Amino acid sequence: MGQTITEKIFSEHVGKKVYAGEIVRSNIDMIIGNDITTPISIKAFEESGAAKLANPDGFALVLDHFIPAKDIASANQAKISREFAYKHDLKNYFDEKDMGIEHALLPEKGLVVPGDVIIGADSHTCTHGALGAFATGMGSTDLAFGMITGGNWFKVPETIKVVYTGKLQPNVYGKDLILELIRIIGVDGALYQALEFTGDTIASLSMDDRFSLCNITI
């Protein structure tokens, strides 16, 4: 029986063949936190009594929403994340001196690669699917569970195969491809489903266009 990319990735992480609909416990290669949602994860982490991260190098914390801070509340959000990063001596901590939008920064740093399982408390975490990874947003407490255990529970999603053919006309980009798909299937047309893009159009897309395409699959 053939497998989708998503099924293959989970099979590799679980250690046996798995298919859509199965509930599995999978290791996570990269957990991505930002300054908006991570303070909630940190609170849950500390309330659990956990002393350390299960996989410190597999946790990236990027301050990219509230930096520079516009008010005291925003500054306090960043402060919580900053203190946690210093306390745990995070290798992949990105503050004002070395930062950017989290879903652009991590690929640039080579911290996410094809075949990874990636989660983040941010709906646009799916951006990393452009690299051939399984990437999804989760809740902040789900993130905390991953921080503590190094893994999480997943229901292997069904996959919609989307085939694009032909050459893009001038001033047509990856974003236009996903907007047209949304027009066809609706904003709720792929709930808890993976989208697998293929076809000669996709093969010719630049990485920038692939990131744009995947960024809006939320």
pLDDT tens-digit map of 3-33? 999 999 999 999 999 999 999 999 999 999 9
Mean local confidence (pLDDT), 52-57: 98
- 188 CB neighbour count, 10 Å cutoff: 7
- The encoded tokens of residue 139 equal 């809740």
Bridging pattern class, strands 151-155 and 23-27 = antiparallel
For 158-169, the pLDDT digits (tens) are 999 999 999 999
Can you give the pTM of this predicted structure? Answer: 0.95
Q: Domains in the chain, ordered, with CATH? A: 23-156 (3.30.499.10), 158-218 (3.40.1060.10)
pLDDT tier at 42, thresholds 50, 70, 90? very high
Residue 217 to residue 125: CA distance in whole angstroms? 10
pLDDT band at 210, cuts 50/70/90? very high
Q: Which amino acid would we find at residue 112?
A: V
Beta carbons of 71 and 161 less than 8 angstroms apart? no
Q: What per-residue confidence (pLDDT) applies to 97?
A: 77
With beta carbons less than 8 A apart as the criterion, state whether 205 and 174 touch.
yes
Q: What amino acid is encoded at 103 in this protein?
A: H
Q: Which pLDDT score, from 0 to 100, does residue 98 have?
A: 76
Helix (H, G, I), strand (E, B) or coil at 26: strand
Picking from 178, 140, 135, 173, the residue whose alpha carbon sits closest to that of residue 157 is 135
